[in-house]
């Protein structure tokens, strides 16, 4: 099995894409506020200048009209001159005085309290002008006001500024989100690809295209890197599978080897203890296998081993696990063994399965096998002892079969000439 990718320790992140997006929006909003406030203050300044010029125009007109009233001390005419100033001009105070400073006429509409203070602070201007006749000063006139029209104008400007700022802010927000998403979405998609790569080892996913040239370059290079990693992972998986096969599978027969048998036997014994069931271990080898190699060659011996292995693999495949221990020795682990099963009948069935004749070229081989049997937990409560008992039972069966003359034989086939006869075997070759 291929090992999972190692993830490096994460460094503390100083900012995320979402934080960057919010920072950009905050900067945009701050810029809008600063520009709006600056425009409002500039408008306020120009309104002050305009109000002052307008008041000086009004006071010049009033001064020229009030000359005769001042010379003749006509208070009624002086008052009418002041009252003739339109009310929408926002004049809150006006006064005409003679040369000695005595007021001939006065209008005082200034508000008391905080309203008056606010009017004075926001927009009231106070201007004065001497009234001169033939170079001689005969009096003066004072006018104060302008806050009301200025406030009306400022209110309108403020409303338009507010509406404009909201409109610009909405547009800026939409554009900022659009371009932020355009920048951050490929990064999030790339992050998802990396996440699936690390957690699920999914090398099939690829980063989607991006409209940003820099991100597109990064995506292309990342996908190329993924292709290379995917290829390496595939080769590594194949290499691990090959190594596993070499380590745990017999190369000739394709059966598990001793390295795989031992943990499998241990798991079977644990399952028997847990479920209160039995298991049967068959230990077998091929009688006179050395004589087959010596007389017919190793190719015939390898073919005989392959046929025996194939039959063991197909015999009760749902219940048994067959293993080649080494040479011509095999073990078959049957689990679970039914309570009403007859082990001797199963042993006879296994003999019959293995000793069917095998054709090798022009020869027909009649294999003979010696099989020892041990039942867990009837015979023992340990794995090593179980194997040893089955091995001893196999050698006991081999000696009995040799005494009975039951060993591996071969003969010529129907088209192979005369029968080859019985193999000359000595006990050391069995």
pLDDT in tens, 321-339: 999 999 999 999 999 999 9
DSSP E strands in 287-404: the ranges are 320-326, 329-337, 358-360, 363-366, 369-376
Q: Is 156 exposed, middle or buried (0-12, 13-18, 19+ CB in 10 A)?
A: exposed
Q: What pLDDT is stored for residue 211 in this prediction?
A: 66
Q: Are residues 378 and 281 in the same domain?
A: yes
Q: What pLDDT is stored for residue 203 in this prediction?
A: 67
- Across the strands, what pairs with 93? 108, 144
Q: Are residues 265 and 348 in the same domain?
A: yes
Range of the domain at 212: 203-248
Q: Are residues 331 and 270 in the same domain?
A: yes
Spatial distance between the Cα atoms of 66 and 420, rounded to a whole number of angstroms: 157
Q: What is the mean pLDDT of residues 302-326?
A: 94
Q: Are residues 123 and 211 in the same domain?
A: no
Contact 287, 372 (CB under 8 A): no
Q: Does 131 score more than 70 pLDDT?
A: yes
Q: Which helix (H) or strand (E) holds 125?
A: strand 125-133
Q: Are residues 51 and 115 in the same domain?
A: yes
Q: Does 112 score more than 50 pLDDT?
A: yes
Which residue, 194, 222, 248, sits at the end of a domain? 248
Spatial distance between the Cα atoms of 24 and 18, rounded to a whole number of angstroms: 10
Query: How many independent structural domains does the chain possess?
Result: 3
Q: What pLDDT is stored for residue 196 in this prediction?
A: 72
Q: Are residues 83 and 221 in the same domain?
A: no
Regarding beta strands 103-108 and 91-98, do their DSSP bridges make them parallel or antiparallel, or are they unpaired? Answer: antiparallel
Q: Are residues 112 and 146 in the same domain?
A: yes
Q: Are residues 271 and 420 in the same domain?
A: yes
Q: What CATH number has the domain bearing residue 377?
A: 3.30.70.270
Which residue, 213, 248, 283, sits at the end of a domain? 248
Q: What is the pTM of this model?
A: 0.50
């Amino acid at each position: 099995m291929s090992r999972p990718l190692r993830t490096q320790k994460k460094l503390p992140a100083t900012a995320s894409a979402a934080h960057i997006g919010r920072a950009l929006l905050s900067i945009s909003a701050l810029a809008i506020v600063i520009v709006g406030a600056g425009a409002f203050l500039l408008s306020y300044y120009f309104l002050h200048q305009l109000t002052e010029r307008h008041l000086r125009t009004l006071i010049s007109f009033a001064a020229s009209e009030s000359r005769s009233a001042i010379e003749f001390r006509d208070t009624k005419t002086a008052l009418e001159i002041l009252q003739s100033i339109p009310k929408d001009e926002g004049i809150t105070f006006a006064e005409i005085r003679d040369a000695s400073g005595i007021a001939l006429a006065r209008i005082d509409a200034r508000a008391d309290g905080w309203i008056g203070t606010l009017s004075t602070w926001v927009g009231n201007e106070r201007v004065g002008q001497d009234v001169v006749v033939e170079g001689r000063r005969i009096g003066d006139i004072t006018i104060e006001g302008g806050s009301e029209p200025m406030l009306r104008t400022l209110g309108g400007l403020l409303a338009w500024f507010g509406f404009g700022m909201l409109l610009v802010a909405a547009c800026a927000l939409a554009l900022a989100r659009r371009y932020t998403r355009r920048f951050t979405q490929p990064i999030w998609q790339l992050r998802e690809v990396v996440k699936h790569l690390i957690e699920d080892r999914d090398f099939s996913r690829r980063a989607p295209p991006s409209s940003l040239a820099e991100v597109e370059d990064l995506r292309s290079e990342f996908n190329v890197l993924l292709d290379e990693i995917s290829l390496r992972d595939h080769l590594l998986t194949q290499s691990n599978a090959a190594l596993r096969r070499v380590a745990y599978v017999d190369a000739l027969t394709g059966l598990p080897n001793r390295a795989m048998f031992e943990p499998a036997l241990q798991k079977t014994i644990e399952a028997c203890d847990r479920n209160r069931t039995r298991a049967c271990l068959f230990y077998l080898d091929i009688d006179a296998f050395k004589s087959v190699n010596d007389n017919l060659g190793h190719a015939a011996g390898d073919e005989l081993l392959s046929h025996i292995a194939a039959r063991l693999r197909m015999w009760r495949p749902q219940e048994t696990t067959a293993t080649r221990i080494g040479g011509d020795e095999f073990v078959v682990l049957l689990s679970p063994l039914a309570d009403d099963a007859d082990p001797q009948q199963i042993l006879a069935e296994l003999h019959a399965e293995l000793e069917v004749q095998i054709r090798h070229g022009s020869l027909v081989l009649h294999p003979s096998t010696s099989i020892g049997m041990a039942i867990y937990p009837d015979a023992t409560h340990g794995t090593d002892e179980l194997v040893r008992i089955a091995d001893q039972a196999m050698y006991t069966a081999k000696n009995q079969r040799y005494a009975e003359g039951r060993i591996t034989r071969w003969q010529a086939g129907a088209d192979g000439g005369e029968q080859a006869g019985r193999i000359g075997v000595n006990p050391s070759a069995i």
